[in-house]
Amino acid sequence: MILTDEQQALLDGAKGEVMAKVVRTLVMYGETFGAERMVPVTSRYGHTVISFGLGVMKPIYDLYDTLLGGDLPKGQPFTADPRPLDDRVPASFLENLVFKKFMYNQQARYEAQLKKLGVTGDDGYTCTCYMPEVGNTPGRGEVLSWAESSAVVYANSVLGARCNRNSGIIEIMGSIAGFVPEFGLLTDEGRKATWVIDVRCKRRPEPQLLGSAIGMKVMEDVPYIRGMEPWLGTELDDAAKDYLKDFGAATASNGAVGLYHIEHLTPEAAEQGESLIAEGAKTWVIDDETLENVRKNYPVIWKDPAAEPKLCFVGCPHMSLTQLKDWTDAVEEGLAKTGRQQVAVPTVFTAPTAVIREFEKTPYAARLAKTGVVVSYICPLMYMNNPLCKSKAVITSSNKLRTYTSAKYYTEADILDIITGKEGAK
């Protein structure tokens, strides 16, 4: 890799040993992928995936102390993934004890570190930092130093920004240095599709199921997806963005997708069309049967697979304002049909703090509260890390949550039936 004089000086220790190690880390990272140079981070904000102060991850916070003690230049401000604790989310006395005394006993220390490093504030804690209410929405072509698989794939695919699937810690180092190695999804070549996916479904494919199927098939490759026009149209409106948010999160967690193109819809596909497809790209056809087979093969690791659901999470990644409103309507309609006043299963909808604040300004908030659904800024994944959750029957419409925890996946329609107490729903 060829470094500028200034970058070489940093590597040689001109700004101290810690900065030299930061740059050495980024150089090794780039050289592993054949990067020939560093490029400036051009976005206003970074985003870090690490938002949790887990007691057992102490070495990470020790490393952050090293960074903070290293007299480093002030890096770019950044948002962070959602916080792991929120008293509004139902938890037993024992669970609360485990959460606060054992699991997240480094939370205060870590949040103090993030503050010193430049986290934007309370509103900055969300995995959907790109939502307009939050304000970390990069523009097309901007170079990012982000981590959080669902945010990276959204920024690349829907916003047309440029970011590799960086790991936690590496992203902060890029934000501190102000430059990142140029490879992979930062290059035109790396953004070409090596898979063509033909979606031939007769009904609207569930976003989190379609994303799961594609992620497991293409793994880290870039798919060019055809056949979505009947379901998403050709305009990136709120409905399309919400669909792609959930779809992308599943591609990234069930596989390792960092960028996808949707024909006639996502910015690069709309502009460049099939010229984005690399020579020799493989093809895969998906239909309703494919998706049903994928869903059927998800393992259920509840201690009692036939247990009655005890908790439901919707919103991993965090929900948008439109989704909160749409779900409010749907829950009310479902309850009206079943003749219930409140949901049959304790249910938590998760969303960014800034979105919740906007939601609370609307009449929908009181209507949703009346149904018994709780709205929280929590990270459901961090909640589910609680070992007691293994014996707790948690259901979700999130394929990401299913992948990393014992939560059982259901389609959105099934979730609605279950939480509104529809007879025979399970």
- Near another protein by CB under 8 A: residue from 136, 145, 149, 376: 149
- The residue type at 421: G
The SS3 of residue 194 is: strand
Residue whose CB is less far from another protein, 129 or 373: 129
Give the shortest CB-261-to-another protein separation in angstroms.
20
Contacts of the segment 11-16: beta carbons below 8 A, 24+ positions apart: 15/71, 15/72, 15/73, 16/70, 16/71, 16/72
Q: What is the H or E stretch that residue 186 is in? A: none
Q: How far is the CB of 25 from another protein (least distance, A)?
A: 5
With a CB cutoff of 8 Å and minimum separation 6, the contacts of 401 are: 313, 316, 380, 381, 384, 407, 409
Q: How far is the CB of 267 from another protein (least distance, A)?
A: 22
Say if CB 69 and CB 35 are below 8 A apart: no
Cβ-based nearer residue to another protein, 111 or 417: 111
**Residue 30 to residues 27, 46, 182, 186, 305: CA-CA distances in angstroms?**
5, 19, 7, 12, 45
Nearer to another protein, 59 or 339 (CB): 59
Considering CB under 8 A, how many residues would be counted as binding another protein?
46
Residues comprising the chain, all counted: 426
- Which residue, 301 or 336, is less far from another protein as judged by CB? 301
- Indicate the residue among 151 and 344 with the shorter CB distance to another protein: 151
| Residue 403 touches another protein, criterion: CB under 8 A | yes
Minimum separation from the CB atom of position 314 to another protein (A): 19
Q: Does 24 bind another protein (CB under 8 A)?
A: yes
User: Tokens 């604040």 belong to which residue?
Assistant: 357
With beta carbons less than 8 A apart as the criterion, state whether 114 and 80 touch.
Answer: yes
Can residue 78 be called a binding residue for another protein (CB under 8 A)?
Answer: no
Among 8, 92, 96, 167, binds another protein (CB under 8 A): 167
Rounded to whole angstroms, the Cα distance separating 349 from 235 reads: 27
Q: Which stretch binds another protein (CB under 8 A): 22-30, 106-114, 322-330, 342-350?
A: 22-30
Applying CB under 8 A, does 28 fall inside the site for another protein?
yes
- Footprint on residues 374-393 left by another protein (CB under 8 A): 385, 387
DSSP state of 139: P
Q: What angle do CA 30, 118, 148 make, to 5 degrees?
A: 50
- Among residues 301, 366, 369, 413, which is the contact residue for another protein, using CB under 8 A? 301
Is residue 170 within the footprint of another protein (CB under 8 A)? yes
Residues that bind another protein (CB under 8 A): 21, 24-25, 28-29, 32-33, 49-50, 54, 56-57, 59-60, 62-63, 66, 103, 147-149, 152, 164-171, 184, 215, 219-220, 252-256, 299, 301, 385, 387, 403-404, 406
